[in-house]
Structure 1
Amino acid sequence: MAKSKVYFTNLRASFGRNLLQKLEKLIKEAGIGNIDFQNKYAAIKIHFGEPGNLAFLRPNYAKVVADVVKELGGKPFLTDCNTLYVGRRKNALDHLDTAYENGFSPFSTGCHVLIGDGLKGTDETLVPIDGDYVKEAKIGAAIMDADVFISLTHFKGHEATGFGGCLKNIGMGCGSRAGKMEMHSSGKPHVNQQLCVGCGSCQKDCAHSAITITDRKASIDHSKCVGCGRCIGRCPVDAVEAASDEANDILNCKIAEYTWAVVKDRPCFHISLVVDVSPNCDCHSENDLPIVPDVGMFASFDPIALDQACADAVNAQPSVPGSILDERERCHHDHFTDTHPDTNWESCLEHGVKLGLGTREYELITIQ
């Protein structure tokens, strides 16, 4: 396979040109205009950040992308799917409050915000892929309804996958609640008996009669449970929990397969900003000191090449003094593995190449 083109611009600015103008130039030089946007719905997948976290991408960057899509005749919207874990983005209403609180409103970004998998994380489209681990991906319905897909990623570290890059943003981020559970878990959900109040909400919502209430406590019969995750979203006290027991390498492979489900058979374009490279995901309600200095902005039609280029760029940087990377023994020659020794980010890219998502070989083209 020929090398893919990855476009890059640094974060130097001048009196006559700011970073937002540089981002616009970058994505236009990278070829976003080659996509037919005319009267097409364009999903811009972004992470809105958990409240308390300050490392997520500023909404100003999203506005640049949305404005370019509109300039090209498209109808953009910002999107993400609800979380599997308990937090401020578990349902669409709280998720929208979070997005607005962090600055992602139609007034600041120039486009609307849609939560891809609906009110309770159950609005999904089943996408057949016949992967090694996933046979039918469960993707947020609004995301699959879009004609064009764009990923706008904050590239950072991640405690389970090594780093959170383009594939993580797409694969995990676009999964419905059941999809996220499938990626994170080898098992099925269970009820935390200490938290359960026996209200029966989960039982009423179970289409497979897998939940029973005994002595005001719910329990799940795994022989009947199909792992749809509806009970997780339904529980008012967050007593239903996912197993979250999948091995990290298999998690990465599932993310690659979910990414394939999202991007196949339609025009896609990918942007990653290597800034505020925090050691953990933006799903945390805090962000630690970045592990390396800010690097720049990248864009490509190839999500594998984009992640590889960003990883190489981060690994070429020195550690930030006082960061978790600076404090840890470096024995892996890789900043992400040194930060989270139980992870192997390469497993995701290797599986993505096997699926035909792209290539790890790239030509880096610098835009001034």
Structure 2
Amino acid sequence: MEKSTVYFTDMHVTLRENLQQKLTRLIKKSGMDQIDFQRKYAAIKMHFGEPGNLAFLRPNFAKTVADIVKEHGGKPFLTDCNTLYVGGRKNALDHLGSAALNGFSYLSTGCQILIGDGLKGTDEVLVPVENGTYVKEAKIGHAIMDADIFISLNHFKGHEMTGFGGAIKNIGMGCGSRAGKMEMHSSGKPHVHTEKCVGCGTCRKQCAHDAITLTGGKASIDHNRCVGCGRCIGACPTDAVEAPIDEANDILNCKMAEYTWAVLHGRPHFHISLVVDVSPFCDCHAENDIPIVPDVGMFASFDPVALDVACADAVNRQPAVAGSLLEKHGHQHHDHFTDVSPDTNWKSAIDHAVSLGIGRKEYELVTI
């Protein structure tokens, strides 16, 4: 069976080569510089880190990727979409402020930042998902779909719902608009937290389906009319409109894979994962626990599926860091991610991505 190639280098440096230079060498050895970037827009999808979390990738790594794109005549920009939950990245203004707080700027990265789904998370493109089992039209951030080339720059870490967050998570979940994220996370439709509602009517004005009414100074949503677009969530000034986070984890993973297909299909793409500061939970938390394993290294591939599998295999070969949640939970499942979050199953995303033709599980690891 044909294998995908995944390139790897560890985190050791010399007096002649620092980590950014080593990442440059890895990327060029992997072949990213063979993409035709000339006069093309290149979206570099990454996570800017929730304020309070310190496990996110430093902006220096983003600059390394952006510099290679510019070296070959491309126009790179960093991007992410707004979050579904309330936090420091729920709209474009807060999102850009959080990115700046965490050190992301034109000076530190060499390129601009565009929030993919706009001010309130409603600027989206409906992308048909061929052979989608769970998603017929993925709701992807407009700026991301406008790009000619897509590059994912991933911080590989654990995740409390998907097992781990790597390339598929960064692409599928990260590129979904607010409505897209709701579709992946939820099997239902939004509802109003009445104690937070001030009866301003902003949500009702945004609803194109007359599903929202005001009664007694409080909004309510008629789920028979609601189509689950999520615009009311972004519009509410008090965060009173909420989406139920109730989708089964396996289905969440499969939806995430289908969103990944929508983002990647029909254009050049390349993927980079840094297996460092492997926190047990997502960078969307406003805090991060100590890493569960020692730093492993940097990986790159044209195949995001093989990349995720190679990173997971590398993490599972590592010993638990003393005092980490992994050590405390023990090794009951022969899989570090399942040991930390037993209700997850990261392999469901991998298997579904393979069935969609996104990539292969089998890989050849080339160490540089």
The aligned residue for residue 67 of structure 2 is 67
3-state SS in 2 of match to 1:265: coil
Distance in 2, Cα, partners of 1:292 & 1:321: 9
Distance in 1, Cα, partners of 2:263 & 2:206: 27
Offset from partner CA, 1:261-319 (integer Å, 9 cap, x none)? 00010000000000000000000000000000000000000000000000000000000
The aligned residue for residue 235 of structure 1 is 236
Distance in 2, Cα, partners of 1:216 & 1:22: 59
The aligned residue for residue 224 of structure 2 is 223
Alignment partner of 1:168 is 2:166: no
**1:27-42 map, 5 Å:** 27-42=27-42
TM-score (norm 1): 0.99
Distance in 2, Cα, partners of 1:207 & 1:251: 27
Distance in 2, Cα, partners of 1:173 & 1:103: 20
3-state SS in 1 of match to 2:23: helix
- Number of residue pairs the alignment of both structures matches: 367
The aligned residue for residue 95 of structure 2 is 95
TM-score (norm 2): 0.99
Letter in 2 for 1:229: G
Distance in 1, Cα, partners of 2:80 & 2:33: 24
The aligned residue for residue 282 of structure 2 is 281
The aligned residue for residue 57 of structure 1 is 57
- In structure 2, stretches of 5+ residues that fail to align are none
- In structure 1, stretches of 5+ residues that fail to align are none
Q: Percent identity?
A: 75
Letter in 1 for 2:253: N
Offset from partner CA, 1:122-162 (integer Å, 9 cap, x none)? 00000001400000000000000000000000000000000
Q: CA deviation at 1:34?
A: 1.5
Distance in 1, Cα, partners of 2:33 & 2:65: 12
3-state SS in 2 of match to 1:281: coil
3-state SS in 2 of match to 1:310: helix
Offset from partner CA, 1:218-249 (integer Å, 9 cap, x none)? 10000100111010001111000001110000
**Which is worse superposed, 151-160 or 124-133?**
124-133
Q: CA deviation at 1:17?
A: 0.7
Distance in 2, Cα, partners of 1:142 & 1:329: 43
Q: CA deviation at 1:331?
A: 1.1
Alignment partner of 1:309 is 2:310: yes
Distance in 2, Cα, partners of 1:160 & 1:78: 26
Q: CA deviation at 1:194?
A: 1.2
Offset from partner CA, 1:4-32 (integer Å, 9 cap, x none)? 00000000001111010000000000000
Letter in 2 for 1:5: T
Letter in 2 for 1:106: Y
The aligned residue for residue 122 of structure 2 is 122
The aligned residue for residue 78 of structure 1 is 78
Alignment partner of 1:189 is 2:190: yes
Q: CA deviation at 1:329?
A: 2.9
3-state SS in 2 of match to 1:173: helix
